[in-house]
Structure 1
Amino acid sequence: MKDFRIETPNLILRKFSPFDSKDVAYYSQQPNVAYWMSDMVLHNESKALSWINRVNERFDATEPFIILGIEHKIEGTCIGVVGVHPKAELDNEFEILYGISDNYQKKGYATEASKALIQWVFKNTKLKSLTAIVKPENVSSKITIEKLGFEYVDTKVIPYDGNMCKFNYYKLYNNQ
């Protein structure tokens, strides 16, 4: 599926382009993004391009394995990532993930992008639920997850970036 695209009022969710490598390297190193998503920091454009190639090669809208760039419609800049994929550390439950460049945080873009992707996934795949994990101290992400309708289930300790880490574990069920 070459031209996968979801539009929202402010954003375009699309497969990453090699031309996004500079933006991806930049936002992945922003202080907030790097702190909360330390396993996704890409230190230069070459590493970002390799990551883009890997996620695009694995792209599968049916499984799903969907990792998309978040493009700001007006500026035409890639400002983040949103995705749904099986999370090995959670017995391959399907996890929602998102990250927005520090300069664009607190504007509702993570919620807008995630909501659009969730709607697409529940309408176009056989998934009946999604999982979200959030570090307990990440209040902004907790608020986003709850706005999206996820409900807290439990605390899980899973390997993350070379350490065992505590996460709040949430579920969202497809009620369609």
Structure 2
Amino acid sequence: MKNYKAFETDRLYIKPTTEEDAEFIFQLLNSPKWLKYIGNRNVNNISDAKTYIKEKILPQLYQLGFSNYTVIRKEDNVKIGSCGLYNRDGLEGIDIGFAFLAEYEKKGYAFEATNALKHTAFSTFNLKEISAITTKNNINSQNLLVKLGFKLTGTTTLPNDDEVLLLFKISNN
């Protein structure tokens, strides 16, 4: 595999998700908050997670040079969450997203990782604008997006889903 952009912060390593992360992706995609706010991706075992990575994550990485990133805590090399830049069907431009296991929430990791990814998106990937979507009841994600500098610009829906989502955007100024 080509050497794709990985980066780090004071406390975190942020690296492109690969099949080596299948066990963690299985755990994350089946966590209660993922299922509640993002939805069931039918990843029912580690084999499904490998397929999900091969079919949903890696093709965009190969095409655009960015995709989903696994977030690893430096102090113990534990995988704690993910963040990413996505070319999502039904959404104009590139979308940023994040999800962390519950035991690693409220510790600043999501802000730290996603803020680093936002800066990388603008400085390395030369994006001019980034979107973000979240459900109306996911207040924690909304607050994080505002803290990251995103502005609520309206609502949207994605193809094959009638749930109205809040749409946030930030420009590279």
Is TM-score (shorter-chain normalized) higher than 0.5?
yes
Unmatched 5+ stretches in structure 2 = none
Contact 2:83 2:114 in 1 (8 A): yes
| Greater share of residues in strand | 1
Counterpart in the other structure of 1:51: 52
Q: 1:64 to 1:75 in 2, by over 3 A?
A: same
1:96, distance to aligned residue in structure 2 (A):
0.3
Q: 1:146 to 1:40 in 2, by over 3 A?
A: farther
1:75, distance to aligned residue in structure 2 (A):
2.4
1:8, distance to aligned residue in structure 2 (A):
0.8
**What amino acid is aligned across from residue 156 of structure 2 in structure 1?**
K
1:157, distance to aligned residue in structure 2 (A):
2.9
Aligned to 1:89, the other structure's residue is in SS state: coil
Residue 118 of structure 1 pairs with residue 118 of structure 2: yes
Aligned to 1:52, the other structure's residue is in SS state: helix
Matches within 5 A, 1:14-93: 14-40=15-41, 42-54=43-55, 55-60=57-62, 63=64, 65-91=66-92, 93=93
RMSD, matched Cα: 1.9
Identity %: 25
Q: Measure, in 2, the Cα distance between the counterparts of 1:146 and 1:133.
A: 12
Q: 1:17 to 1:85 in 2, by over 3 A?
A: closer
Q: 1:141 to 1:69 in 2, by over 3 A?
A: same
Q: Measure, in 1, the Cα distance between the counterparts of 2:89 and 2:98.
A: 17
Aligned length: 171
Counterpart in the other structure of 1:168: 166
Unmatched 5+ stretches in structure 1 = none
1:108, distance to aligned residue in structure 2 (A):
1.5
1:56, distance to aligned residue in structure 2 (A):
2.4
Counterpart in the other structure of 2:145: 145
Aligned to 1:43, the other structure's residue is in SS state: coil
Contact 2:71 2:83 in 1 (8 A): yes
Deviations 1:91-122 (A, max 9, x none): 3x110011111221121211111100110110
Aligned to 1:164, the other structure's residue is in SS state: coil
Deviations 1:3-38 (A, max 9, x none): 531101121110224332111111211111221111
Contact 1:24 1:78 in 2 (8 A): no
Q: Measure, in 1, the Cα distance between the counterparts of 2:66 and 2:162.
A: 25
**What amino acid is aligned across from residue 110 of structure 1 in structure 2?**
A
**What amino acid is aligned across from residue 156 of structure 1 in structure 2?**
T
Aligned to 1:23, the other structure's residue is in SS state: helix
Residue 154 of structure 1 pairs with residue 154 of structure 2: yes
Aligned to 1:42, the other structure's residue is in SS state: coil
Q: Please identify runs of 4+ aligned residues in structure 1 that moved more than 3 A.
A: none
Deviates more, 1:123-132 or 1:139-148: 123-132
